[in-house]
């Protein structure tokens, strides 16, 4: 039986709808009264694991799940050893650099050398500023990154942005976009290569479902 890692949070509802489209029902995860973290689809074709979004690629890389859904941002940040099967075309957002609207630096390249940049996406931020050939200090924050500039801890942030409302309400503006991110379908490489439990067929069903939507 195939095990699928489903992400808690913003991608969960669309992920469940995706699998419903190919006959797998994990909608029990959406029931606020349900506390189960592992459920089996009523058809007994697959088991679903409900895990933190950041943990999805870990479960897939180590083979506890053969398939998973994860944001492209986390694939770039974590660089897991997984097979990237498809762009699922939902969960769209962008990784951006933002500064206070009152900042004298309105382009990332204008930041002084050794400026402080707060981010939970440390590797993405490092790679971006290395490409700019601009040495900065990345401060890892895993809560409200917007507080970095507000408190004076950092001159800028690198974070995921969807509508931009949170930035606006906290007096921040985007000054560059690193990349666009959407939900991606990933697989355990060896399981996919060996087509264990007809994993390839399930992957193709999902990709065909996405192409028709």
Q: Are strands 183-187 and 67-71 parallel, antiparallel or unpaired?
A: antiparallel
**Percentage of residues of the chain with pLDDT beyond 70:** 100
Q: Where are the strands (E) in the chain, listed by range?
A: 2-7, 38-40, 46-51, 67-71, 83-87, 93-100, 115-119, 136-140, 156-161, 172-181, 183-187
**Separation CA 95–CA 59 (nearest Å):** 24
Q: What span, in angstroms and rounded, lies between the C-alpha atoms of 81 and 188? A: 8
Is 87 in the same domain as 189?
A: yes
pLDDT of residue 149: 96
Q: Do 63 and 109 fall into the same domain?
A: no
Q: Identify whether residues 153 and 200 lie together within a single domain.
A: no
Tell me the per-residue pLDDT of 88-130, one tens digit each, with 9 for 90 and over: 999 999 999 999 999 999 999 999 999 999 999 999 999 999 9
Instruction: Indicate if 77 and 158 belong to the same structural domain.
Output: no
Whether residue 9 is found in the same domain as residue 86: yes
Residue 213 confidence (pLDDT) above 80: no
Interatomic CA distance for residues 188 and 209, integer angstroms: 21
pTM more than 0.85: yes
pLDDT (0 to 100) of residue 197:
87
| Same domain for 208 and 160 | no
pLDDT computed for residue 51 by the predictor:
97
Same domain, 87 and 124: no
Q: Are residues 25 and 97 in the same domain?
A: no
Strand order in the sheet with 136-140: 136-140, 115-119, 156-161, 93-100, 172-181
Contact 73, 181 (CB under 8 A): yes
Q: Which pLDDT belongs to residue 186?
A: 97
Do 77 and 9 belong together in one domain? yes
pLDDT at position 180? 97
Indicate if 86 and 191 belong to the same structural domain.
yes
| Mean of all residue pLDDT scores within the chain | 95
pLDDT given at position 109: 94
Task: Say if CB 123 and CB 54 are below 8 A apart.
Answer: no
Tell me the C-alpha distance between 67 and 49, whole Å: 10
Residue 212 has pLDDT above 80, yes or no: no
**pLDDT of the residue at 209:** 87
- Same domain, yes or no: 11 and 65: yes
> Residue 110 belongs to what domain range?
93-180
Rounded Cα distance between 55 and 6, Å, is 10
Which of the residue ranges 27-31, 199-203, 209-213 would you say has the lowest mean pLDDT?
Answer: 209-213
Task: Report the distance separating Cα 60 and Cα 38, nearest Å.
Answer: 15
Taking the C-alpha atoms of residue 97 and residue 64, their distance in angstroms, rounded to an integer, is: 35
CB 188 within 8 A of CB 60: yes
Average pLDDT over residues 193-213: 88
CATH of residue 54? 3.40.190.10
CA Rg, the chain, in Å? 19
* Judgement on whether residues 142 and 163 belong to the same structural domain of the protein: yes
Q: What is the number of structural domains in the chain?
A: 2
Task: Give pLDDT tens digits for 136-184.
Answer: 999 999 999 999 999 999 999 999 999 999 999 999 999 999 999 999 9
């Amino acid at each position: 039986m195939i095990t699928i890692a489903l992400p808690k949070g913003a991608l969960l509802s669309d992920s469940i709808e995706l699998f419903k489209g190919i006959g797998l029902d994990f909608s029990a995860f959406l029931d606020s009264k349900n506390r189960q973290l592992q459920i089996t689809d009523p058809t007994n074709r697959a088991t679903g694991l409900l895990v933190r979004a950041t943990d999805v690629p870990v479960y897939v890389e180590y083979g506890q799940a053969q398939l998973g859904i994860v944001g492209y941002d986390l694939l770039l940040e974590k660089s897991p050893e997984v097979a990237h099967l498809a762009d699922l075309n939902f969960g769209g957002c962008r990784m951006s650099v933002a500064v206070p609207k009152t900042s004298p630096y309105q382009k990332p390249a204008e930041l002084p050398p050794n400026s402080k940049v707060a981010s939970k996406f440390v590797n993405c931020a490092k790679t971006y500023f290395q490409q700019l050939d601009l040495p900065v200090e990345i401060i890892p924050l895993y809560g409200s990154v917007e507080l970095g500039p507000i408190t004076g801890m950092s001159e800028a942030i690198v974070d995921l942005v969807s509508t931009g409302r949170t930035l606006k309400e906290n007096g921040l503006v985007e000054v560059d976009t690193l990349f666009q991110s959407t939900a991606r379908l990933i697989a355990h490489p060896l399981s996919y290569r060996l087509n264990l439990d007809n994993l390839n067929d399930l992957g193709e069903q999902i990709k065909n479902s996405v192409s028709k939507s």
